[in-house]
Amino acid sequence: MTHDIAVVGAGIAGASLAAAIGPRARVLLLEAEAQPGYHATGRSAAFWSETYGGPAIQPLTTASGAALAPYLQPLGSLHIGRAGDAPAIDTFLADFAGSGVALEPVDPAALVPGLRSDWTLGVLEPSCAYIDVARLHADALAAARRAGATLVTDAGLIGAQRADGRWRIDTAAGRFEVAVLVNAAGAWADAVATRAGARPLGIRAYRRTVAQLRTAPGAPPAMPMVADIAGRFYFKPEAGGRLWLSPHDETPTDPCDAAPEDLDVALAVDRFEHAVDWRVEAVERRWAGLRSFAPDRRPVYGFAPDAPGFFWCAGQGGFGIQTAPAAAALAAALLLGEGTPDGLDAELYAPGRFIA
């Protein structure tokens, strides 16, 4: 079968984009693993927070809210700080003033039972929500298939050559030919660019750890997610009174099948015990995944200025799930030569910002 566009990587970025362009192009979705979602997409902390990632990411997150609504459940996020964090709280509030994101200064002790007394500062972000990531990703893959896209797993891209306006792509599952090659390879985005002869952009992978805790007392169901304004931890109530806790680690790593380190889990528990007086009874589960950032920590959507027919859809950092619908709409418009969706500034995310 002939295809127009090959999307490399079937995580949330590639799957969402394939679903968005599927009705208007013949799409081939190439995934290196046997299971799409095996890497970052299957390992997230699964929340939607309009402030997460900062003001340059917020328009993508907010614009994704309506499409994500069927996958969201109320959570709320409480950003907490100690006296010395007052300037960070002020900067946080100033960063989102006028953005439309509701942020309310609150007494954090009123929302978190057992919060240690030095955590006196709080800002509540009521719109923060749980995301059903597995269903979102499965629905994107299903929508892509319904629109005619072909998903090929165990099909890692090995190399790609361009001749006569077409890409000849060699993969572990055989050779394919398309006009446009989309790089949605997550932590491997720079490696895929290099294999296609495009200039890499300096997208680096960083390990992030999450542990599921059983605590005494258990997490109250109505408690919001709690995030240190200084970025040293967050924890989030889960089913059965469990907590998901992260030390907000960001260890530079080569692209790999990331695994949690004992030290990062211990650090997380130590920071947690300095935040609340709860006892940690068990670390029931732990995992790690890779968050991939361009040098300025903004994602990259658009055609590479240096490589005809090569399109970037990468650098989704810690916000690739919560921004997926708007990012896919933007990338689809750029790919198909349509107008930029309302409220988004394509220049902010253009690959040309790295290539003179």
Ligand X SMILES: Cc1cc2nc3c(=O)[nH]c(=O)nc-3n(C[C@H](O)[C@H](O)[C@H](O)COP(=O)(O)OP(=O)(O)OC[C@H]3O[C@@H](n4cnc5c(N)ncnc54)[C@H](O)[C@@H]3O)c2cc1C
Judged by CB under 6 A, the stretch of 6-14, 81-89, 175-183, 331-339 that binds ligand X is 6-14
- 216, 299 contact by CB (below 8 A): no
Residues 255-294 that bind ligand X (CB under 6 A): 289-291
- 130, 72 contact by CB (below 8 A): yes
How far, in Å, CA of 20 to CA of 31, rounded?
Answer: 18
Between 279 and 285, name the residue whose CB sits nearer to ligand X.
285
Q: How far is CA 204 from CA 170, 288, 294, in A?
A: 24, 16, 7
Q: Which of 149, 180, 300, 321 binds ligand X (CB under 6 A)?
A: 321
Q: Which of 192, 226, 268, 327 binds ligand X (CB under 6 A)?
A: 192
Q: Which of 27, 101, 128, 157 binds ligand X (CB under 6 A)?
A: 157
Structure-token pair, residue 332: 């689809």
How far, in Å, CA of 334 to CA of 332, rounded?
Answer: 5
Q: Which of 25, 31, 89, 92 binds ligand X (CB under 6 A)?
A: 31
The least CB distance from residue 189 to ligand X, in Å, is 8
Residue 321 contacts by C-beta under 8 Å, 6 or more apart in sequence?
12, 41, 44, 46, 48, 131, 133, 136
> CA 318 from chain center: how many Å?
4
Q: Is 330 one of the binding residues for ligand X (CB under 6 A)? A: no
Binding mask 103-142 for ligand X (x = CB under 6 A): ----------------------------------------
Q: Which of 319, 329, 332, 334 binds ligand X (CB under 6 A)?
A: 319
Q: Is the peptide bond before 221 cis (omega within 30 degrees of 0)?
A: no
Judged by CB under 6 A, the stretch of 24-32, 145-153, 175-183, 325-333 that binds ligand X is 24-32
Between 82 and 286, name the residue whose CB sits nearer to ligand X.
286
The least CB distance from residue 1 to ligand X, in Å, is 19
Sheet architecture: strand order including 166-171: 157-163, 166-171, 174-178
Structure-token pair, residue 166: 């077409």
Q: Is 38 one of the binding residues for ligand X (CB under 6 A)? A: yes
Between 9 and 81, name the residue whose CB sits nearer to ligand X.
9
- 172, 32 contact by CB (below 8 A): yes
Q: Which of 3, 9, 58, 260 binds ligand X (CB under 6 A)?
A: 9
Binding mask 40-79 for ligand X (x = CB under 6 A): xx-xxxxx--------------------------------
| DSSP H or E segment with residue 288 | strand 279-293
Structure-token pair, residue 107: 């007494």
Residue where the block lists tokens 């299957």? 42
Q: Is 272 exposed, middle or buried (0-12, 13-18, 19+ CB in 10 A)?
A: buried
Q: Is 183 one of the binding residues for ligand X (CB under 6 A)? A: no
The least CB distance from residue 223 to ligand X, in Å, is 17
DSSP 99-154: SS---EEE-GGGTSTTB-TT--EEEEETT-EEE-HHHHHHHHHHHHHHTT-EEESS
Q: Which of 5, 7, 12, 160 binds ligand X (CB under 6 A)?
A: 12
Between 271 and 291, name the residue whose CB sits nearer to ligand X.
291
Between 121 and 311, name the residue whose CB sits nearer to ligand X.
311
Neighbouring CB atoms inside 10 A of 340's CB total: 13
Q: Is 354 one of the binding residues for ligand X (CB under 6 A)? A: no
Where does this chain bind ligand X (CB under 6 A)? 8-14, 30-33, 36, 38-41, 43-47, 156-157, 184-188, 192, 208, 210, 289-291, 316-322
